[in-house]
Amino acid sequence: MAHGHDLAEAIVDAIREPLLVLDPDLRVIAASRSFYRTFAVLPRKTAGRLLFELGDGQWDIPGLRTVLEDIIPKRRTVEAYEVEHDFPSIGRRVMLLNARRVFDETGSASAILLAIEDVTRRRDADREKNDLLQQKEVLLQEMQHRVANSLQIIA
């Protein structure tokens, strides 16, 4: 049994994305090193605590609450559920949440795996690209208007 637990911890730590393992009551059983590093939290202030109480309540995010309390009980998995939140220690983050219920051999839910992908840079780049495309469109319309005016003067 201890070997299985050690193996599970090694797997959680090997995951590149922030990952939480929650019990059915949404208490943190384990977290990946990436979770601690990305969200600047300490293991001793994380393990055994309710997810929504972590970091003085900074994880009490409405979108996350919706995923874990409303969607997961009805379905086994949630894929790419996007939430945006402003964390006091690391600032605004846009995250894609992937959650999956894990069942034991008796078929009862024993844990929830919650993978968190930080897509803040990607979303910011998308916004910047869209802004630049819009500016380009305005400039092209202005140039077209000026060319048309110049052609009218010549004609």
Does residue 149 surpass a pLDDT of 90? Answer: no
Q: In this structure, is the dihedral angle defined by the CA atoms of residues 112, 97, 118 and 58, taken in order, positive or negative?
A: negative
pLDDT value at position 90? 86
Does residue 106 surpass a pLDDT of 60? Answer: yes
pLDDT value at position 57? 87
pTM of the full structure:
0.73
pLDDT value at position 3? 55
Residue with the larger pLDDT of the pair 2 and 31: 31
For the ranges 101-105, 123-127, 136-140, 145-149, which has the lowest average pLDDT? 123-127
Q: Could you count the other beta carbons within 10 Å of the beta carbon of residue 26? A: 20
Average pLDDT score, the chain: 84
> For a pLDDT cut of 70, what percent of the chain falls above it?
95
Q: CA-CA distance, 8 to 66, in Å (whole number)?
A: 27
Confidence of residue 35 (pLDDT cuts 50, 70, 90): very high
> What end-to-end distance do the CA atoms of the chain give, in Å?
89
Q: Identify the CATH number of the domain defined by range 2-118.
A: 3.30.450.20
3-state secondary structure of 153: helix
Residue tagged 């060319």 (tokens): 147
DSSP 69-88: IIIHHHSSEEEEEEEEEEET
The beta-strand segments (E) located in the chain are 19-22, 28-31, 77-87, 91-103, 109-118
Q: Catalogue the long-range contacts made by 84-88 (C-beta closer than 8 Å, 24 or more residues apart).
A: 85/58, 85/61, 87/39, 87/55, 87/58, 88/55, 88/56, 88/58
Q: CA-CA distance, 30 to 5, in Å (whole number)?
A: 11
What tens digit of pLDDT does each residue of 41-90 get?
A: 889 999 999 999 988 888 898 888 888 887 777 777 889 988 888 888 88
